[in-house]
């Protein structure tokens, strides 16, 4: 399938999903506002922490603001524009993809664009405010930020798709996939100085906080082409793993195989 029809299919589907999420304005505003309050509470805790400890392992408040702003905006954009990733495992297990198998459009694209999460707007607005107000971004650093943020978004979305693709093999993948995504977000909410040994290995592999936020922060603070190449390479690898896992599972699904292992 060529890129243009795929992009058109995605644009139409996600526009419909966003309109649906905005249909009940009162509920939408309530969900978005609740996420803003939740994020604000977490940020207040970090402000109080750095009021007492000005630096932790070389990380200062502006570095944490950059890290938190990146993960919040990534979660926000992913939820608004690729919201189907959150319940992708449940969609697979329920057999809802059957109706898409006969259609000549990318199944994964349609699944990702089938939903837009209202609370994600709260993440997006809060993250953008944090980046604008506390991350000390400079005009010179914006190109580095754009590349690092985009790579982090790809890794995060790819991790979500990979986790959800376990549903082609495991009956219990619905809760497992969502738990793993939550663990990724949690791992992305702490300074890189806390990771060492086995925890650092996990943060740069299974729960790729290292490539979602830590490496982008490093790229912003000390830009160099080695870090840039590492980050872009990681984004390509995680995207390839996600696409491979989903389409391998989809071929298994099309052959009539269903997951038999529970977790």
Q: Domain coordinates of the chain in residue numbers?
A: 3-254
Give the pLDDT confidence score for residue 254 in this predicted structure: 83
Q: pLDDT in tens for each of the 263 residues of the chain?
A: 567 778 888 898 999 999 999 888 898 899 889 988 888 888 888 888 877 777 777 888 889 999 999 999 999 999 999 999 999 999 999 988 888 887 766 899 999 999 999 999 999 999 999 999 889 899 999 999 999 999 999 999 999 999 999 999 998 888 999 999 999 999 999 888 889 899 999 999 999 999 999 999 999 999 999 999 999 999 999 999 999 999 999 999 888 776 755 65
Give the pLDDT confidence score for residue 124 in this predicted structure: 95
Give the pLDDT confidence score for residue 1 in this predicted structure: 53
Residues 6+ apart with CB under 8 A from 11: none
Give the pLDDT confidence score for residue 174 in this predicted structure: 87
Neighbours of 215 (CB within 10 A): 24
Give the pLDDT confidence score for residue 261 in this predicted structure: 58
Give the pLDDT confidence score for residue 59 in this predicted structure: 87
Ramachandran angles phi, psi of 53, nearest 5°: -120, 100
Give the pLDDT confidence score for residue 132 in this predicted structure: 92
Give the pLDDT confidence score for residue 54 in this predicted structure: 76
Give the pLDDT confidence score for residue 102 in this predicted structure: 79
3-state secondary structure the chain: CCHHHHHHHHHHHHHHHHHHHHCCHHHHHHHHHHHHHHHHHHHHHHHHHHHHCCCECCECHHHHHHHHHHHHHHHHHHHHHCHHHCCHHHHHHHCHHHHHCCCCCCHHHHHHCCCCCCHHHHHHHHHHHHHHHHCCCCHHHHHHHHHHHHHHHHHHHHHHHHHHHHHHCECCHHHHHHHHHHHHHHHCCCCHHHCCCHHHHHHCCCCCHHHHHHHHHHHHHCCCHHHHHHHHHHHHHHHHHHHHHHHHHHHHHHCCCCCCECC
Give the pLDDT confidence score for residue 123 in this predicted structure: 94
């Amino acid at each position: 399938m060529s890129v243009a029809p795929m992009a058109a299919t995605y644009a139409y589907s996600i526009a419909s999903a966003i309109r649906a999420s905005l249909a009940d304005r009162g509920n939408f505003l309530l969900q978005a506002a609740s996420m803003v309050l939740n994020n604000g509470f977490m940020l207040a805790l970090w402000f109080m922490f750095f009021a007492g400890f000005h630096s932790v392992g070389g990380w200062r408040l502006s570095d944490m603001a950059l890290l938190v702003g990146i993960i919040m905006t990534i979660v926000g954009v992913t939820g608004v524009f690729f919201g189907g990733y959150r319940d992708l495992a449940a969609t697979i297990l329920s057999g809802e993809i059957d109706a898409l198998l006969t259609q000549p459009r990318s199944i994964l694209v349609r699944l990702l664009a089938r939903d837009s999460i209202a609370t994600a707007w709260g993440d997006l607005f809060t993250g953008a405010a944090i980046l604008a107000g506390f991350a000390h971004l400079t005009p010179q650093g914006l190109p580095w930020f754009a590349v690092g943020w985009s790579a982090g978004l790809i890794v995060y979305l790819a991790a979500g798709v990979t986790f959800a693709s376990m549903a082609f093999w495991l009956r219990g993948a619905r809760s497992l996939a969502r738990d793993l995504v939550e663990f990724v977000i949690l791992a992305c909410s702490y300074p890189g100085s806390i990771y060492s040994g086995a925890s650092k290995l996990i943060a740069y592999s299974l729960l790729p906080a290292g490539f979602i936020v830590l490496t982008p922060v490093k790229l912003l603070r000390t830009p160099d082409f080695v870090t840039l190449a590492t980050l872009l390479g990681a984004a390509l690898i995680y995207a390839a793993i996600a696409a491979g896992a989903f389409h391998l599972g989809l071929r298994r699904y099309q052959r009539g195989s269903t997951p038999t292992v529970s977790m």
